[in-house]
Structure formats: structure tokens, C-alpha cells
Amino acid sequence: MKYSRILGTGSHLPARVMTNADLEAIVDTTSAWIRERTGIEKRHLVSEGETCCDLAEVAARRALDAAGVQASELDLILIATTTPDRFFPSTACLLQQRLGVRGCPAFDLQAVCAGFVYAMDVADRFIRTGAAQRALVVGSETISRILDWTDRTTCVLFGDGAGAVVLGSADEPGIVSSHLHADGAYKDLLQVPGGIGNGRPEAAFIEMKGNEVFRVAVTTLGRIVDETLQANGLSRSDVDWLIPHQANIRIIQATARKLDLPMERVVVTVDAHGNTSSASIPLAFDQAVRDGRIRRGEMLLMEAFGGGFTWGSVLIRY
């Protein structure tokens, strides 16, 4: 029996920083409102000409270095993104070319903020079946490009960035289990309505019924925690670290309470990064690995909720 194990992590944030105070000059908001309702203090944004693939490449190279794996050893490249550079080729193919790799499968996966959790599940299945030995899984986003910068209800929430992990085949987990769900009945609560289904592509931006999304997110993430623990016969005290999707500190606190975990055991980056969609979990993960908080052998629970709605979890023995 084969399992996948995390060999290395990496991440990258664009240099440009926008604080809450900077946003006060753009839309009718206050630093205090943003901080109190979301926990966000600042976010990083791409500059003109900086792309999703640029962010992904830096994060990927850092993860490869940390893993001690050459790009030529990869046999799967997977990018979770909602903001690909082109309709096609996929950003994963663009990244493959940048890394100088040829031949291995490379594709994008779109599950909005749950994208990284979805991509980990898919990569894990490649490795478990023997179809891949070494997989690069990236979450990379330039969400700032699909924001309406005149809409204070959305533009204050998001940021750009990328995170990556290299997975390798191992005899023991590794990824213990993953649990994915979606419910398209909620398609209109959180969406970018533009696209080729409406004719020729036009500019389109995130629209969200924030407080309805909030309510569903809190209950759904509570359920996914129970589902993950029950599937493995574990209790809440078996989880050492919660690495949640970083949308809102209040949603994160609610999930931590559900797990009975003190906030010191929750990796929080929403204050400094905002919501970076599919990049938020690998960004947070890499930060906590590099600063020494997360150690080998510990049990990690990743969970995410996003547009679709999509949601899921990954339980990892790191």
C-alpha cells in the first residue's frame, strides 16, 4: 500500500502591500470595520505584469528546494487556481515550461477557495494508485484582478499569493484521508458571473452575499471536522494543528471552537494576507513549517470552503 507524504513546502507573496488604511482612500470603509468583521489588517497584491504563474513559480521552486527534489523528478504538476493567466494553456502547463519539465501530466483545478484541498485529494489519488511518485501541488491566485475596486463589500477581503507542496510516495501516511463536497445550488451566493457562457468574455468581478455565505460556511466547516474525525476514529484532541482556509477570523475561530483547539494551535495568516483563495492554506502551512511551529509527526487538519459552494478537508500526519 502506497501513501503520499509531504516532502517540502514553499510560498510566495507579491511585494506590493495594501493596508486597511490604504483602502480607506479608495472605498467608503474604515480600518476598524475591516479588522473587527474579518481580522484582516493588510494584503499583498500583484503589480502590473505580475502573473499567477510568476507567483506559482517562486512558491514551487521553494517547495522543490525544501523537498530536495529536482523539477525533472516530478511526474505530476497540479495548480489550484481561480485566476489562471489564460483560458488555455493551463497555468500548470505554463509552470511546467518555466520549470523546464516535459512530458508529465499538468493541469489546473478550479474549486475556488477549496481548490488546494481538492488538488491535494487528486494528487494523493495519483500517488496511491502508483500513477505518480512525486507531485507538485500549488495554490496560486491573482484574485485582485477579479475584484470590483468600487465594491467595499468584497474588495477589502482578498489578496494575492501562492503556496506549494511537493508530495512523494511513501509506505506510511502522510495524507491520512481527504473529504470533498460541493453543492451547486448555492451558485449565486458567491460568483464571478462573467464568462464565455454569456457570449464573448467580458470583465467580471466577484459578487458575494457575504452574511449568507458566512452562515453556511460556519455550519459546513463544523460538519467537515466531524466527518473527518469520525472517518478515522479520532477525537478532537488528536489534532495538533488546524490549518484553515483564511477567509475571516470569525469563521476560523468558530471551527477552532468546534475542535476545542486553542487559537495557539491554529495557523492564522488572514490578518497579513487577507483571503488568497486557493493559495491561503499552502501559504499558511509553509509559514508555520518554516517558523518551526509545525513539526514532523504532528497531526494537521486542513479545511476550506469556497464558491460553488465547494468544501473539503485533508488530514495529514506530517
| Residue the block writes with cell 453543492 | 183
Nearest to 167 by CA among 195, 202, 128, 193: 128
Cα distance between residue 178 and residue 201, in whole Å: 35
Q: Write the single-letter amino acid at 294.
A: I
Nearest to 23 by CA among 14, 33, 31: 31
Cα distance between residue 20 and residue 116, in whole Å: 27
- Active-site residue flag, 113: yes
- Active-site residue flag, 232: no
CB-nearer residue toward ligand ACO: 104 or 216: 216
CB-nearer residue toward ligand ACO: 178 or 277: 277
Residue environment code for 85-94, b if the CB has 16+ CB neighbours within 10 A, otherwise e:
beeeebbbbb
- Given 53, 113, 155, 179, the catalytic residue: 113
Going by the DSSP 8-state scheme, the letter that residue 201 receives in this structure is -
x/- letters, 171..200, toward ligand ACO (CB under 6 A)? -------------------x----------
Nearest to 239 by CA among 177, 283, 286: 177
CB-nearer residue toward ligand ACO: 153 or 177: 153
Tell me which residues in 50-109 interact with ligand ACO (CB under 6 A): none
In whole angstroms, the minimum distance from the beta carbon of 278 to ligand ACO comes to 9
- Given 179, 245, 248, 273, the catalytic residue: 245
Tell me which residues in 23-52 interact with ligand ACO (CB under 6 A): 29, 33-34, 37-38
In whole angstroms, the minimum distance from the beta carbon of 285 to ligand ACO comes to 18
Tell me which residues in 210-229 interact with ligand ACO (CB under 6 A): 210-211, 213-214, 217
In whole angstroms, the minimum distance from the beta carbon of 280 to ligand ACO comes to 9
* Assigned C-alpha cell, 77: 504538476
Residues near ligand ACO (CB under 6 A), total: 24
Q: Which phi and psi (to 5°) does residue 186 adopt?
A: -95, 15
Region of 37 (left: φ > 0; alpha: ψ -120 to 50; beta: rest) is: alpha
Q: Which residues bind ligand ACO (CB under 6 A)?
A: 29, 33-34, 37-38, 112-113, 152-153, 156, 190, 210-211, 213-214, 217, 247-248, 251, 275, 277, 305-307
The set of catalytic residues is: 113, 245, 275
